[in-house]
Amino acid sequence: MKVYCDHGHAGIAGSKKTLPGNRCQKLLDLQCVILPVYTFMNQPRPKSQHQHQQRHHPLVLASASPRRLELLRQIGVRAQVQPVDLEERLHQGESPLVFVQRLALEKTRFGFELMARQGIGLPVLGADTIIELEGEVLGKPTDSEQAELMLAKLSGRVHQVHTAVVVKTAGAEYTALSSSQVEFASLSASAIKAYVATDEPLDKAGSYAIQGMAAQFVKNLQGSYSGVMGLPLYETADLLAKARIKLLTN
């Protein structure tokens, strides 16, 4: 209901009655103060940056790899990137499979800890990929010379690519391992040098990228193509489903 002053101006809520004229302006001034304050108090609070991130990114990728981020997007998963920097050293007596799974788990746990420090409680996905050649682990080359040596070892031979994936939530850890077999064609020294000169091999396990120019070297592949790239999508989708992270979203 409205209250009216002697001049017909609407006033505050109450029964209808007239007010002395000298109170008219005071009443209207009161309205001008009360209404904006009431409106302000009822405005929705702006979302914090962390709330915005959690709404639009249901997952944190504990990796700086653009290939893994691209593969997640391929199955409809948006992820916030949190690079992790850990020492990747093979322990004495450690098998290649144990090594790659340990690295993936350590990266994921560290990424989860980094996000928790920022007050972000999103699930974290971490992964690691290694090349195994007759029991020897081939990681990322330290320079062009080492890249050439690795490619010469792989030339004309069959090797294994192992990628371990971990998804960590506040209450659980889910793990998976993908192993594929890749056969390389015989590579000439000049072909190896030309490929290394492109710089493509320098940040890749085994010194090659199957999704890049090295695709021409692959004679046969048995297993997961995305796993060789660095993130096996079948296994990853299964882990995300277990962690209740929706796939195929826009």
DSSP 8-state class, residue 117? H
Residue carrying the six token digits 């962690």: 243
Told to judge if 6 belongs to the known catalytic residues of this protein, a careful annotator would answer no
State whether residue 185 is helix, strand or coil.
coil
> Environment class of residue 220 by beta-carbon count within 10 Å: exposed (0-12), middle (13-18) or buried (19+)?
exposed
Kindly give, in sequence order, each residue whose CB lies less than 8 Å from that of residue 108, ignoring residues fewer than 6 positions away. Answer: 62, 124, 125, 126, 166, 167, 168, 173
The CA–CA distances, whole Å, from 49 to 118, 162, 250 equal 11, 37, 21
| Neighbour tally for 195: CB within 10 Å | 23
Give the C-alpha separation, 223 to 218, whole Å: 13
Residue carrying the six token digits 């322990």: 91
* Catalytic residue of the set 128, 143, 203, 238: 128
Residues tagged active-site: 128
